[in-house]
Structure 1
């Protein structure tokens, strides 16, 4: 059976480093290694999405990457907090207060004595005959005050008609639009080339949408005496980062789903898409995640697990009075917990034959993604054995397809690198064992969470966006928030640097993206560089086919370049087709052979045996 190579033909999104498409967020990470012209271009692009064109360099730098939580999210010194206390009455000195008829509870408590106020039938005096618990809105400092936030001043809601969307879905619209537009091919042109069911969208969020416009507002409404809106429940669901792409960006009739696997969620969705394209079931897939968890309640939850880097522990690490928020995330060094972040990352995958036909740009390829659980565990949040399998399988695939040289001297690792004391030991031990097995010495290791924090579901989306930048420039971002590698890290065969690592094209042929999620959700992806893909295409297509492909690609690159120029000026133009191009269901035609959808040239065949045979007809 013919197998297809899933090619990355578009990518985009937003995180604390800025816009992902055309490597802008990656370039923020390696800013010190850029030439003067590229550095200026990167800073200018970042300034424009911050709404501060012409801002000085220091302001731009301080307004990006991990930093102290800004007041636009909430006041970290006065985080909302409900205080409950009793009001006690005595027989000689009862507690009395007046409420209007509308303010009275529907069920009057037994220890209340209620009577009308003389001369005003709309007011009632309440006399307490016992004790009453009262909750008042108060505030308190929050223990964790650092996060990987979007660049200062960048508000996704300002760029389209967001209509009470939760922040995570605002990020979905912008992130997925950035990826689709980065292709340089109109989506309508892609749709014309394939059957409606040859498209897939796999995307999700780990924490759902927990702000007031989503589940957060719904779950708090009754306790706060507020009404639940009709949008809070549906928009809060963790499948919405896929549903919004289908309904408002692509208008897709293809497969869809939201796979979740804690911090490995992006790779879980990527695996689904890769397998379907590889087997020929789909020709195009949009894969991504979107997460907006910088909320007091979410921070409290992870802090209660001792998972986050608290201000107190950061102070103790550095023996200072004021924590260094910029260096809160310190993978593979002396550290004290991870740093929560928000992000939206999407990629567009296309089967190699369709990419050649359409002249698509090629940023890389994903031949395989591996997922394994941990087996029996003592603690659901502790790391386990499954990541040994995923990492070894991912490296084994590259070794089989490309040979030992590419793995030994042409690969690098994007570590999960969560910045917890346990992760630095357990993950580095896995890398060390795999390196030993495959004869790897000085294996380059990066950890992008040191720049953008831990965005939960999209975390490996942050990794893949940075890896595509490494393929383009040959520079692996160093872990610049650390002073040194911790003594308990298994680093003998690993090359973990504080400064950028110049790999060059030969040293950046293969990336291994590793993710370790709570509950035993382990995943590792093998990603090939464009140069590796070129050699694959040369073996599978004729010189005339490749020449025609390159001619088509020139026009595609020109359109993509125009989008990049606009986006660098803050003209993001997100796709949001609300209520447009609705499909006329009365025009759908169904026969024994196929389904014909209005507006689509290709039909959906009903004569597929799913590879099964031997049944008696």
Structure 2
């Protein structure tokens, strides 16, 4: 019999406020953190809006050497991991370090650092033969995303399995699922798991401009992200990190740890169809949801809330709506659904973990975050998408899903560790 796995610590760095409390406050109040890009001049680009994290690494305890060595995404991961470990109450010194592991998800790795350093070594793109002597000494770390896991492991003293999961926009779900499996099979007792991405850079903006995936609604950044709304026209790029402490249920309960949620079920599928396209019937996501519910031993009627991928593109929102109907049946029409991307944007590989954080906090507070900016219902998206304002709602079991370029579809069921609470 596999061991049960629970989340005992949460750390979040997201747009609109750093730290888990600020993150939840933003969601509960239904505020948006989308704005015109400030980290570089976005005027040459089609889409000029994003959800940026107001992050000062020095104020968050990183030293000069750490700041110089690490890409922004690695910095976000390390700070989030430290918050999660502190929140969990785990004493790293009291654990066998070989039984503590790390998994970090990331879709685009050290994009910010690589973009910046290429501009430096090529003199703004003017030199074809670049001069490596102008680069930062640790440029190699930017090329190997495994450095993210290494940095987090060094930060928390973990000497067990360490890896990076990169499955596009489902990375943040898949990395936590891998950590869960390592505990279930007995390879580790504690895992520090989550995801990070800092993709707001000229090269990323240009790539999404080319395929017109991001919104051109530059005149109204605050309301630019509109999942499930009839007027939606693309997603808003974001950044951030969320990291968790995962533990085996019995040992966590024995030490008196707070139990945010149990990772009850998980499944992943690939549509083997198109790099960016989605079939409108949502069959692959529906299959992932069904398998995750089977593993969690829950029925559709047990799902209290669905934390949607909800990117705000026409095809994703149709695809996802169909998947919920196929997998949940009539219960899909009675279940609150919402997309926090309406408030914090789409941080690519990090968003799956950030949405796990939103899900466990929704369970803790019995509040469903809203889909901000949802004002004009789309007849093709006819479920209960909790428009504009948070809703008090008993939330014991949550389904959170992700969809990524390449055809990746992931579903995870999170549950109160002891269901049927008073």
Same fold, TM-score > 0.5, yes or no: yes
Picking from 197, 200, 209, the partner of 1:291 is: 197
Q: How does 1:21-420 map to 2 (within 5 A)?
A: 21=20, 23-31=21-29, 65-70=33-38, 73-77=39-43, 141-151=44-54, 154-159=55-60, 160-161=62-63, 162-164=66-68, 165-189=70-94, 191=95, 195-211=96-112, 213-214=113-114, 216-218=116-118, 221-222=121-122, 223=125, 224=127, 225-227=130-132, 228-247=135-154, 249-310=155-216, 314=217, 323-333=219-229, 334-375=231-272, 377=273, 379-384=274-279, 385-398=283-296, 400=297, 402=298, 404=299, 407-408=300-301, 410-420=303-313
1: CA distance, partners of 2:141 / 2:234: 33
Q: Secondary structure at the match of 1:156?
A: coil
Q: Deviations over 1:279-335 (max 9, x none)?
A: 22221111111111111111001110111112xxx2xxxxxxx72101111111121
What is the Cα deviation at residue 467 of structure 1?
A: 1.1
What is the Cα deviation at residue 239 of structure 1?
A: 2.0
Match of 2:16 in 1: 17
What is the Cα deviation at residue 185 of structure 1?
A: 3.0
Q: Deviations over 1:524-575 (max 9, x none)?
A: 111012552979xxxxxxxxxxxxxxxxxxxxxxxxxxxxxxxxxxxxxxxx
What is the Cα deviation at residue 397 of structure 1?
A: 3.6
1:418 and 1:449 in contact (8 A); partners too: yes
Do structure 1's residue 526 and structure 2's residue 421 form an aligned pair? no
Q: Deviations over 1:418-477 (max 9, x none)?
A: 1001111111011111121x7554211010100000000111111111112211221111
1: CA distance, partners of 2:99 / 2:388: 44
Match of 1:547 in 2: none
What is the Cα deviation at residue 391 of structure 1?
A: 1.4
2:101 and 2:153 in contact (8 A); partners too: no
1: CA distance, partners of 2:332 / 2:407: 27
Structure 1 length as normaliser, TM-score? 0.62
What is the Cα deviation at residue 219 of structure 1?
A: 7.9
2: CA distance, partners of 1:345 / 1:144: 26
Compared CA separation, residues 468 and 233, structure 1 to 2 (3 A): same
1:214 and 1:231 in contact (8 A); partners too: no
Do structure 1's residue 512 and structure 2's residue 399 form an aligned pair? yes
1: CA distance, partners of 2:16 / 2:196: 15
Q: Deviations over 1:492-513 (max 9, x none)?
A: xx211213353433xx011111
1: CA distance, partners of 2:48 / 2:275: 26
Compared CA separation, residues 157 and 167, structure 1 to 2 (3 A): farther
- After TM superposition, what 4+ stretches of structure 1 lie above 6 angstroms from structure 2? none
What is the Cα deviation at residue 145 of structure 1?
A: 1.3
Match of 2:368 in 1: 476
1: CA distance, partners of 2:292 / 2:391: 24
What is the Cα deviation at residue 409 of structure 1?
A: 5.7
2:4 and 2:262 in contact (8 A); partners too: yes
1:210 and 1:217 in contact (8 A); partners too: no
Bigger RCO (CA 8 Å, 6+ sep) = 2
Residue-pair matches, total: 407
Tell me, which stretches of 5 or more residues in structure 2 are unaligned? Answer: none
What is the Cα deviation at residue 157 of structure 1?
A: 4.1
Picking from 347, 371, 374, the partner of 1:455 is: 347
Compared CA separation, residues 324 and 5, structure 1 to 2 (3 A): same
Identify the range of structure 1 (446-455 vs 158-167) with the bigger mean alpha-carbon deviation. Answer: 158-167
2:307 and 2:401 in contact (8 A); partners too: yes
**RMSD (CA atoms):** 2.2
What is the Cα deviation at residue 240 of structure 1?
A: 2.3
Q: Deviations over 1:98-127 (max 9, x none)?
A: xxxxxxxxxxxxxxxxxxxxxxxxxxxxxx
Compared CA separation, residues 288 and 220, structure 1 to 2 (3 A): same
